[in-house]
Structure formats: C-alpha cells, structure tokens
Amino acid sequence: MKWLFLSLCALCLIACKPNAHQDEIRFAIAQAPLNLDPRYATDAASERVNRLIYQPLVDFDSASNPAPILVFWQVVSDTEYRFTLNKNLAPFHNQTPLTAQDVKATYDSLLALKDSPHAAEFANIKAIEVEGKNEIIFSLKQADKHFPAKLIIGILPKDLIQQGHDFSHNPVGNGALKFVSWQNKLTLQRTKDDQIISFQEVKDPTVRVLKLLRGEADLIQGDLPPELVKYLQSKPEINVKTSIGANFSYLGLNMQDPLLNNLKVRQAIAHAIDRQAIIDKVMVKKSRIAGAILPPEHYAGNSNLEPYAYNPVLARALLNEAGIKLPLKLVYKTSTDAQRVRFATILQAQMQPAGIDLEIRSLDWGTFFEDVKQGNFQLFGLTWVGIKTPEIYAKAFGSQSFPPIGFNRGRYADAELDKLLINEEWPAATTRIHQQLPYIPLWYEGQFAAMQKNVSHYSPKPDGNWDDLATITKNINK
C-alpha cells in the first residue's frame, strides 16, 4: 500500500510551473476556430481570428458604415465599382506584396467554390477586372448600393490560391498577426513586435476562470455566467473590463402557429417578460434592453423604439381579448447551453402570472437549430452575432426569405414591411417590426473581458471581436 501511495504522490510532485511561456499572451476561449480560410469560415471564433490574420478591402466604422481598409472606392455606375488599393500596404506574411491581382484572385476563387457558405453573397458579381497594379473594377449583374459593405472577406495571395494552399489550417494574410502553428492550441505572432499570442479552447466556464486564477491564461472574454464575472471582479489580481454589447438576443415566434399568428398574443408575451429584472440580476454590466436587431448607435438602428413594459396584468387582459383560454400553453425551444436554459426558466417563471404556461425543451445545438430552420417550433431563443448591415432586416423578416433561402425562420409575411424594406426606410421598417412583433426583442448583452493585472491595451468590443489583440501588451516584470 505504501508504494502505491508514494507513487501517486510522485505523480503529483513532478509538477510543472504554470508560467512556462512567460512572455506569451495566452487567451482561453470557449470555442476554438474551425476554419481559418476566410472563404469558408462562418463561426464567430474563426471570423474573429481571421480579422487579425487577414485584411479585407472594407470594414465598418463605429456607426457601422462601410469604411475603407485596403482601398478607397468610386461608384462608376449603379452596377460598377472601381476600387483603388492604398499605397504602402503591409505585404503578405510570406513577404509577397499585396496587389490588385490578389484581390481579383481571392474573389474569383470564392465565386468558383461550390461549397463556400459565402459564395452566394457574391453571386451578383458579373466580372472582376484589374487595371494596372492597384485598380480593381467590380461589375455587377444588378445594381447594389451596399456592395462595398460586402467586401469584408480577407485577401489571400494569388500564387498560394493557384497552388491550392490549405488556408484553413495554414493561413497566410497581411493582417496584424501571422500564423505560427496549430497543435492543440492556435499560436499567432504579431508582425510588428513578434509578440506570441496563443488561443486555447477551454469549453467549461469554471475551468476558464480557474486557468485565469492559476495564471495559465492571461485573458478570457465572454461566455461566462454573471456570478463568475462577479467572482472575478472580487479578485484583486484580475482586471475585468466591460463594454456595451451589440449582439441582439430575441425570442423567435412561429407566425404559422394559429396562436402566435394573433398580434395580441405576441403583445401579451412581450408584456410578460421583465427584461430589466433579468438584466439587473443575471447579466453582466452594461447589458441593455433591445428594440431592433441593429443597436441604436447603428446608422440603421432606431433609438425611438419604446420597450414593452413588464405588465402581467395587461398581458393577461390581451390574452383574454384574443379569446385565449388561460393558461396559454406554449413550447419554448432552446439549446443545452447553461445560461440559455437559465434564461428559459426565468422566462417561464415571469410568464406564469400573465397566464402563460411555458414548457421548456432544451435540445442539443444541432437538433435545436435544425428545428428552428424547419419551422418546427412555437418559440425559440437565439442571438444575432456580429451583424453589421441593414440587409439583415430583409433576410430575417422579408416574405421572400423563408428558409432555406433566408433567415425568416418564423415565416413572417407582411407586404407593408416588404415595401419599407425595399425602399430602405429603416426607421419606419424597424418601427413596423417592433409593432408587429415577429420577434420579441430581449437585450444586447454587455461584453466583458477578464485579464491578469499585467495585461494592458485590451478592451472588449460591442460585437465581441478580438481586434485589440493587435495592441495588447503583457508586462512580464510585474
């Protein structure tokens, strides 16, 4: 027995020091990127990393207007755009210069890919031509005044595209960070000062917090229940920063359901939810009540939307007016994510005084999302992440956008709204959506990042991006 005990102790005593890579900045993330080829990436983690590795032609300013990054552009006609590359662009990480040929090759290859989820966005491109070293002309099949806002795909080197290079796992761009390796963890290096930054997937939120406390991680961001955020805020060795969020959480409603097709029922549900209480009690600071998919600071947002007040008496009255026999039984579908299930139970409790009996069905992500796309639901809860362009209104509520060719999963059809969307009358359109309630708007969840005290120059951003990894610093002497 003694030797057994001793051997177990020995196992423990061959301990390692947590700060084996003192100068490396270690970022513990909830979900690892899946694919670092910008022509394929769709998950949030891949897109956030790709913003650091590659540079697109266009990005967005603080009001989400398209802003030039690599180019400035000129509208030649309704169907033709001329882009001119800026001078002194950073070369690709393999040291070849970025030219107009690379831009053309990137978008040509994207259009040729049969299995790219982004190809459909560019189906309107008729031809891409290069003039000289720096000029690219995009000809479109149909007029699209939002076309520049679509050019957010990172530019790849032409020669590597032609060689069939595997950008998915060996990316080469011209962004602030270059690829180093991807074995268990993803390692990138900042081009300006050679700072190493690694990303390690740690799914469990408690474990992410333990890694931060133990010093095995320097930074974590988002995806923590608020009690863990509060716990971290109480730790003197940890610095927690928060910011407002722009990702829109909502309840989706099935408009083909005979109960939910009734506006009074939808209004009753909206009045049966105490958003402010949820924000105050179980969400991180700087979360705010939402009105429309795009936040008020967006150029197509609407700051005049009055939130539906929590009023269970009014909700009950609305249900009675709609001729509903109480309690109204509804099924709410959500994923198995702990925070989502927690929200579901709170909604269930809040709706009870309004006469709504909410049954919660928590499903694995694949099944849940498939049900949502198929319209196999009454209510569901989801969040729109990283949405920048007002096209989302047409895709989410337009009568021509029912799945599988759009995101109108609730199958909402409203001719009046369609007209407003076509004419791009955003205030009127968002007001109409707010009145008709094909979605019940919930909140924009606040963003936060927790980091070691010796980490600086990093702040969370409203859409949760990791852009500040281009500037983050770690003082190893502290």
Partner 1 sequence: MVSRFLSLVTVVFGVLLLTFLLIHLVPGDPVEVMLGESASTADREALRADLGLNQPLISQFGNYLGKLAHGDFGNSIHSKQPIIELIKTRYPATLKLAFLALLIGLSIGIPLGIYAALKANHWQDFVVTIVSVRFSAMPAFWLGPMLMLVFAVWLGWLPVSGMESRTSIILPAIALGFGLSAILTRMTRTSLLEVLNEDFIRTARAKGLSEKTVIIRHALRAALLPIITIVGLQMGSLLAGTVITETIFSWDGIGRLLVESIEKRDYPVTQACVLVVALSYVLVNLFTDVLYKFADPRMRFN
Q: Which is nearer to partner 1, 94 or 206 (CB)?
A: 206
Signed CA dihedral, 309, 312, 314, 316: sign only:
positive
Q: Which is nearer to partner 1, 188 or 358 (CB)?
A: 188
| Residue 203 and residue 187 in contact, taking contact as beta carbons nearer than 8 Å | no
The least CB distance from residue 314 to partner 1, in Å, is 36
The least CB distance from residue 152 to partner 1, in Å, is 14
Which three-class secondary structure state does DSSP give residue 84?
Answer: strand
- E strand residue ranges, 132-247: 135-140, 177-183, 185-190, 196-201, 219-221, 238-243
Give contact residues for partner 1 (rule: CB under 8 A).
1, 4, 7-8, 11-16, 18, 20, 34-35, 37, 40, 42-43, 114-117, 119-121, 123, 166, 168-169, 184-185, 200-204, 206-207, 210-211, 213-214, 216, 364-367, 370-371, 373-374, 395, 403-407
The least CB distance from residue 356 to partner 1, in Å, is 28
Q: Which of 69, 89, 71, 40 is nearest to 138 (CA)?
A: 71
The least CB distance from residue 8 to partner 1, in Å, is 8
Cα dihedral 154, 159, 160, 162, rounded to 10, equals 100
Task: State how far the Cα of 264 lies from the Cα of 28, in Å rounded to an integer.
Answer: 45
CB-neighbour burial class of residue 136 (10 A; exposed 0-12, middle 13-18, buried 19+): buried
Number of other residues whose CB lies within 10 A of the CB of residue 86: 12
Q: Which is nearer to partner 1, 116 or 350 (CB)?
A: 116
Which three-class secondary structure state does DSSP give residue 338?
Answer: helix
Question: For residue 274, which amino acid is it?
Answer: D
Question: For residue 384, which amino acid is it?
Answer: W
Q: Which is nearer to partner 1, 4 or 476 (CB)?
A: 4
Q: Which of 448, 451, 450 is nearest to 464 (CA)?
A: 448
The least CB distance from residue 191 to partner 1, in Å, is 24
Q: Which is nearer to partner 1, 34 or 313 (CB)?
A: 34
Q: What is the spatial order of strands in the sheet that 80-85 belongs to?
A: 71-77, 80-85, 135-140, 125-131
Q: Which is nearer to partner 1, 220 or 265 (CB)?
A: 220
Q: Which of 468, 251, 259 is nearest to 380 (CA)?
A: 251
Q: Which is nearer to partner 1, 164 or 258 (CB)?
A: 164
The least CB distance from residue 237 to partner 1, in Å, is 12
DSSP letter for 10, please.
Answer: H
Q: Which is nearer to partner 1, 205 or 441 (CB)?
A: 205
The least CB distance from residue 467 to partner 1, in Å, is 24
Q: Which of 230, 232, 235 is nearest to 208 (CA)?
A: 232
The least CB distance from residue 295 to partner 1, in Å, is 23
Q: Which is nearer to partner 1, 55 or 116 (CB)?
A: 116
The least CB distance from residue 168 to partner 1, in Å, is 5
| Residue 380 and residue 372 in contact, taking contact as beta carbons nearer than 8 Å | yes
Q: Which is nearer to partner 1, 314 or 413 (CB)?
A: 413
Report cis status (omega within 30 of 0) of the bond before 327.
yes
C-alpha 365: how far from its chain's center?
Answer: 16
The least CB distance from residue 200 to partner 1, in Å, is 6
| Residue 120 and residue 405 in contact, taking contact as beta carbons nearer than 8 Å | no
